[in-house]
Amino acid sequence: MYDRGIIIPGLLVFVLLVTFPIWYNRGDAGEVPQLEKPKDAKACVLPAKEMRSSHMQLLNEWRDEVLRTGDRAYFELEGKMYQKSLQNACMKCHTSKKKFCDKCHEYSSVTPYCWDCHLAPVEEDIN
């Protein structure tokens, strides 16, 4: 091979540069987001683990049931009746979008467009 002395170190440098984020952050997933949980409610619609992994599917199901099927039936949780609604159910307990929703969404770098239309609870600017 011609120019072996340049190509091989060059390739090595290239691979190192490309994999930089992997080996630089090795073993460190960053600080786990700390969520502020509702103080006066213990139970959520589903167990916490399921909510963590599939709250988005649940919201989509609610949307389709309420809007398309017309099934607006309320559900009961700890003796209180709730609508199937992000704005009028979820956010009644999780009163702060900034201290709850945004924490994980920022951490995992997802930008759901919920709040382009839906109204987040009024809260002071904490940033």
Partner 1 sequence: MDKKRREFLKIAGISTLAGLGAPAVVDRMVSGSFPLAAKAAQEVAHGEKANDQAATEGHGEKTVPTGKRYGMVIDVRKFIENPGMADACTNACHTVHNVPDFGEANKKDEIKWIWLTGYGNAFPDHSHYYKDEELEKNKVLVLCNHCDEPPCVRACPTKATFKNKDGIVAMDYHRCIGCRFCMAACPYGSRSFNWQDPRNGLDMNKLNREFPTRMRGVVEKCNFCADRIGKGEQPACADACGSSKAIVFGDLNDPNSEIRKVLKEKYTIQRKPALGTHPSVFYIV
Candidate residues 34, 69, 111, 127; the one interacting with partner 1 per rule CB under 8 A: 69
For residue 126, the minimal CB distance to partner 1 (Å) is 18
Binder among 4, 117, 124, 125 for partner 1 (CB under 8 A): 117
CA atoms 69, 74, 76, 77: torsion sign: positive
Q: Which is nearer to partner 1, 6 or 117 (CB)?
A: 117
Beta carbon of residue 80, minimum distance to partner 1 (angstroms, whole number): 16
Using CB under 8 A, pick the residue from 63, 106, 107, 112 that binds partner 1.
63
Binding to partner 1 by CB under 8 A, coded x per residue (else -) over 86-115, reads: -xx------------------------x--
What span, in angstroms and rounded, lies between the C-alpha atoms of 125 and 66? Answer: 32
Told to check if 2 binds partner 1 by CB under 8 A, we report: no
What is the distance between the alpha carbons of residues 5 and 31, in angstroms, rounded to a whole number? 42
State the residues that interact with partner 1 by CB under 8 A: 63, 66-70, 72, 87-88, 113, 116-119, 121-122
